[in-house]
A and B are shown apart, each in its own frame.
Chain A
Amino acid sequence: MEIIGIQSYLIISLIMFSAGIFTTVSRQNIIGIFMGIELILNSAALNFAAFSRFSAINLEGQAFSIFIIVLAAAEAAIALALLLSIYRRHKEINAEHLNKLRF
């Protein structure tokens, strides 16, 4: 069995990143965009962990991944809260129509 090298992680990460970018760009629904952002974040986290695993002695990269996860969770919470209140006000969460940057 071949040892999984760093390239594999990077390829996965690249795919995730691209998928994230695609989702973010293509979706109209804010929740969709949001999911895309999550994908991008997680691809970055994966990169961190992978680089750390293969290059560093200490666990900095892993620690950063955990930070990113926590941050993503916090961000998700706030974003969803915002979305809820936007929805209450505008009865929709279509990014196309919410281009005023104010409510």
Chain B
Amino acid sequence: MMKEIIQNYGYLIVIFPLLGALANGLLGRMMQKRYGEMPIGIIACASIFFSFIFSIIAFLSVVSMQNNLVIINNLFNWISIGYLKTDISFLFDPLSVVMMLIITGVGFLIHLYSVFYMKGDPGFYRYFAYLNLFIFSMLVLVLADNMLFMFIGWEGVGLCSYLLIGFWYEDMKNAVAGNKAFIVNRVGDLGFLLGIFLLFSLLAEQLSAGGALSLANGNSSILSFSFLAENVHLLGGINIFGMSAVTVICLCLFAGATGKSAQIPLYVWLPDAMAGPTPVSALIHAATMVTAGVYMIARLSFLFSMSSTALGVIAVTGAATALLAASLGCVQNDIKKVLAYSTISQLGYMFLAMGVGAYSAGIFHLMTHAFFKACLFLGAGSVILALHHEQDITRMGGLRRFMPMTFITFIIAAFAISGLPPFSGFFSKDEILWSAWSSSNGHPLLWFAGFLTAGMTSFYMTRLAMLTFFGENRSGLIIKESPFLVTAPLMILAFFSLFAGFTGVPEALGGNNMFSHFLDPVFGIQGGAAHHDTMEYVLMSASVLIVIAGAGLGYLLYGHRPQLARILPEKFRHLHKLLYNKYFIDEIYDAVFVSGTKMFASFISAFDKYVIDLIVNIFGFVLRIEAMIIGWFDLHFIDKAVDLIAEFTLSAGSGARKIQTGRIQAYVMLMLFAVTLGILYRLIF
């Protein structure tokens, strides 16, 4: 019953937010002017809420199926040319329903929160149109049944992110940040596209060579995930550019993921993206969009599993990003920047999980991260609002007394992200660390990177909490707790940050790892108890210890003896400067790529203007010179000859002239004379 609903009407999940976006985008300005903000907020929230209800139905119907947990809702054929056939169709399986629930659930809460946060903004309607459009794109991304359709969502979220980062476009800084985000993402997207092309062309080649596919009956959708999963083994033995084809494809796709999910080397846009409104940072740049890369790799796990080289690259990139971003997070003073770097760092964790083949652990962390990071961002938003858009943590402090609800939820989420048991982050992070150590693709060094990151995470979260909520109130403002519309989402998210982990308690701790078993079919794992040994307990305790150590250090520096926090940066001035300026990566990129491209463009343009056009003009000029030479030649030789003839004629004529009148009659006479001569000639010869 429920299955039929989803099979036939599953697309409604995506349609509701789209309708909301259209309604607000096209009629919003009029509505806001005439009826105020109420109808806009209601439309936006209601559309997401409907979508959320449908998502629950989809989830339940997937859960209720015994085997083959896949429902496909095929809408219509999109492109069908040659071998390329893609449909607009939606795929419901455990992976996509989990993502869908996160997106619509967290999305709905953030919509509610935004209604208050954006109150009084002249672009209120615009904001909600973009936000609904974002939910639409994100749902398309996770529900798409084939890679090209997925790419619509992939770029769609990028577009919404661009629009929302630059939402307050009157400040050029925000607009530039939006541009940066989109263009950096485009670099990754290029990789993604090339990956798709390679995958498609190689598969089409193999299939048509094997006779499994011909243009006449090319009605199997090569790029659909189910088709790929069945046929991707055909690429096994192929080499291109001296590498195995699968590795090249995976690396291309991973390039796309590094762009979207802010990994080395394309992470630079995310900190700048904090220029957008805070709920946007929570939804797009923490909970959902940035995890798209992780989702994509999980979705294509069958492909990535074929290339241990690619997985290795992913794992190392993830681990390195986690460490790098965590180190940067320790010194930032902007509350949102700290959270941004922590997001990058946590995404690094997820990629680490993907890279060691622990897909479900990665998705598990994705989910818990969505809850606690959304909670942290929304808490930060609450603080920022209360402080009249102050974001510098050195000018906060002591807020716990004024904003108890914000404080409590923030602390719960901070515990969760630090990975303190029994908060949700503990379980997900622990599973990743254990996989990094024990999986066949894992390596103790990968574990160690994750382990260090865990310590740094708890350090900078403690620092953040200390500077924001403890000590003296350094803002000099009278601070009030935010209203219920703000704190309610915070409470719900805090609740999940606290308890979401229990869906995936590992066997080692007596749980049954429900979450991972739910996802197992997607990743082609055939049930069975996971092995565990005493090492798992050792590592678990070690990570708990380093978390506590990190938190202790944070407390020591920023809570217990604040003066130390001031002395240390001066002691290690160079290190601090390097970290504070983010290793000067932005400046390097700017100098090398941005200025480089611009200079190259100016060069090409100058080339066009001064060389190509010059050639054309030279061509014209040469023609003119030639014309002049010919003209000169004409004047002095040809014309001279003519003149000579004329002069001769003249001088001859001037003789004859004396015996002629030179008038009409004379001509007639001449004519007569000539004719007579002619006749005489005929007569004589």
Touching chains A and B, CB distance < 8 Å = yes
A-to-B contact residues, CB < 8 Å: 21, 24-27, 33, 95-96, 99
Interface centre among B665, B668, B669 (most CB of A within 10 A): B665
What are 16 A-B interface contacts by the 8 Å CB criterion?
A: A21-B668, A21-B672, A24-B668, A25-B665, A25-B668, A25-B669, A25-B672, A26-B665, A27-B665, A33-B664, A95-B663, A95-B664, A95-B665, A96-B663, A99-B662, A99-B664
Q: Which chain A residue lies CB-closest to B662?
A: A99
Point out the residues of chain A lying under 8 angstroms from B669, CB to CB: 25
Point out the residues of chain B lying under 8 angstroms from A33, CB to CB: 664-665
How long is the Cα–Cα vector from A39 to B661 in the complex, in angstroms? 23
Point out the residues of chain A lying under 8 angstroms from B665, CB to CB: 24-27, 33, 95
Q: How far is the CB of B667 from chain A (nearest CB, A)?
A: 10
List which B163-190 residues lie within 8 A (CB) of chain A. none
Point out the residues of chain B lying under 8 angstroms from A96, CB to CB: 661, 663
How long is the Cα–Cα vector from A95 to B668 in the complex, in angstroms? 13
Point out the residues of chain B lying under 8 angstroms from A27, CB to CB: 665
How long is the Cα–Cα vector from A25 to B670 in the complex, in angstroms? 10
Interface residues on B, range: under 10
How long is the Cα–Cα vector from A43 to B664 in the complex, in angstroms? 21
Q: How far is the CB of A90 from chain B (nearest CB, A)?
A: 15
How long is the Cα–Cα vector from A95 to B664 in the complex, in angstroms? 7
Point out the residues of chain A lying under 8 angstroms from B663, CB to CB: 95-96, 99
Q: How far is the CB of B371 from chain A (nearest CB, A)?
A: 101
How long is the Cα–Cα vector from A33 to B668 in the complex, in angstroms? 10
Q: How far is the CB of B66 from chain A (nearest CB, A)?
A: 107
Q: How far is the CB of A73 from chain B (nearest CB, A)?
A: 22
Point out the residues of chain B lying under 8 angstroms from A25, CB to CB: 665, 668-669, 672
Point out the residues of chain B lying under 8 angstroms from A95, CB to CB: 663-665
B-to-A contact residues, CB < 8 Å: 661-665, 668-669, 672
How long is the Cα–Cα vector from A99 to B669 in the complex, in angstroms? 16
How long is the Cα–Cα vector from A95 to B662 in the complex, in angstroms? 11
Q: How far is the CB of A35 from chain B (nearest CB, A)?
A: 14
Given contacts A24-B668, A96-B661, A99-B664, 5 further A-B contacts (CB under 8 A): A33-B665, A95-B664, A95-B665, A96-B663, A99-B663
Q: How far is the CB of A15 from chain B (nearest CB, A)?
A: 16
Q: Which chain A residue lies CB-closest to B672?
A: A21
Pairs A-B, 9 closest by C-beta atoms: A25-B665, A95-B664, A24-B668, A25-B668, A25-B669, A96-B663, A95-B663, A99-B663, A21-B672
Point out the residues of chain B lying under 8 angstroms from A26, CB to CB: 665
Q: Which chain A residue lies CB-closest to B665?
A: A25
Q: Which chain B residue lies CB-closest to A24?
A: B668
Q: Which chain A residue lies CB-closest to B669?
A: A25
Interface centre among A21, A25, A27, A95 (most CB of B within 10 A): A25
Q: How far is the CB of B665 from chain A (nearest CB, A)?
A: 4
Point out the residues of chain A lying under 8 angstroms from B662, CB to CB: 99
Point out the residues of chain A lying under 8 angstroms from B664, CB to CB: 24, 33, 95, 99
Point out the residues of chain A lying under 8 angstroms from B668, CB to CB: 21, 24-25
How long is the Cα–Cα vector from A95 to B669 in the complex, in angstroms? 15
Interface centre among B661, B664, B669 (most CB of A within 10 A): B664
How long is the Cα–Cα vector from A96 to B662 in the complex, in angstroms? 9
Point out the residues of chain A lying under 8 angstroms from B661, CB to CB: 96
Q: Which chain A residue lies CB-closest to B671?
A: A21
How long is the Cα–Cα vector from A21 to B666 in the complex, in angstroms? 11
Q: How far is the CB of B660 from chain A (nearest CB, A)?
A: 11
Q: Which chain B residue lies CB-closest to A97?
A: B663
Q: Which chain A residue lies CB-closest to B664?
A: A95
Q: Which chain B residue lies CB-closest to A96?
A: B663
Q: How far is the CB of A9 from chain B (nearest CB, A)?
A: 19
How long is the Cα–Cα vector from A71 to B665 in the complex, in angstroms? 23
How long is the Cα–Cα vector from A20 to B661 in the complex, in angstroms? 19
Q: How far is the CB of A14 from chain B (nearest CB, A)?
A: 13
Q: How far is the CB of A46 from chain B (nearest CB, A)?
A: 18
How long is the Cα–Cα vector from A58 to B661 in the complex, in angstroms? 45
How long is the Cα–Cα vector from A95 to B665 in the complex, in angstroms? 9
Q: How far is the CB of A22 from chain B (nearest CB, A)?
A: 10
Q: How far is the CB of B316 from chain A (nearest CB, A)?
A: 95
Q: How far is the CB of B164 from chain A (nearest CB, A)?
A: 80
Point out the residues of chain A lying under 8 angstroms from B672, CB to CB: 21, 25
Q: How far is the CB of B63 from chain A (nearest CB, A)?
A: 105
Q: Which chain B residue lies CB-closest to A27?
A: B665
Point out the residues of chain B lying under 8 angstroms from A21, CB to CB: 668, 672
Q: How far is the CB of A98 from chain B (nearest CB, A)?
A: 9
How long is the Cα–Cα vector from A24 to B669 in the complex, in angstroms? 9
Q: Which chain A residue lies CB-closest to B666?
A: A25
How long is the Cα–Cα vector from A99 to B660 in the complex, in angstroms? 14
Q: How far is the CB of B360 from chain A (nearest CB, A)?
A: 102
How long is the Cα–Cα vector from A33 to B664 in the complex, in angstroms? 9
How long is the Cα–Cα vector from A99 to B661 in the complex, in angstroms? 11
Q: How far is the CB of A89 from chain B (nearest CB, A)?
A: 18
How long is the Cα–Cα vector from A96 to B663 in the complex, in angstroms? 6
How long is the Cα–Cα vector from A33 to B669 in the complex, in angstroms? 13
Q: How far is the CB of A11 from chain B (nearest CB, A)?
A: 17
Q: How far is the CB of A21 from chain B (nearest CB, A)?
A: 6
Q: Which chain B residue lies CB-closest to A37?
A: B668
Q: How far is the CB of A96 from chain B (nearest CB, A)?
A: 6
How long is the Cα–Cα vector from A41 to B637 in the complex, in angstroms? 44
Q: Which chain B residue lies CB-closest to A30?
A: B664
Q: How far is the CB of B672 from chain A (nearest CB, A)?
A: 6
Q: How far is the CB of A97 from chain B (nearest CB, A)?
A: 9
How long is the Cα–Cα vector from A26 to B669 in the complex, in angstroms? 10
Q: How far is the CB of B523 from chain A (nearest CB, A)?
A: 100
How long is the Cα–Cα vector from A26 to B664 in the complex, in angstroms? 10
How long is the Cα–Cα vector from A33 to B665 in the complex, in angstroms? 8
How long is the Cα–Cα vector from A81 to B664 in the complex, in angstroms? 19
How long is the Cα–Cα vector from A27 to B664 in the complex, in angstroms? 10
How long is the Cα–Cα vector from A33 to B662 in the complex, in angstroms? 15
Q: How far is the CB of A101 from chain B (nearest CB, A)?
A: 10
How long is the Cα–Cα vector from A24 to B666 in the complex, in angstroms? 10
How long is the Cα–Cα vector from A24 to B662 in the complex, in angstroms? 14
Q: Which chain B residue lies CB-closest to A36?
A: B668
How long is the Cα–Cα vector from A14 to B529 in the complex, in angstroms? 135
Q: How far is the CB of B75 from chain A (nearest CB, A)?
A: 82
Q: Which chain B residue lies CB-closest to A95?
A: B664
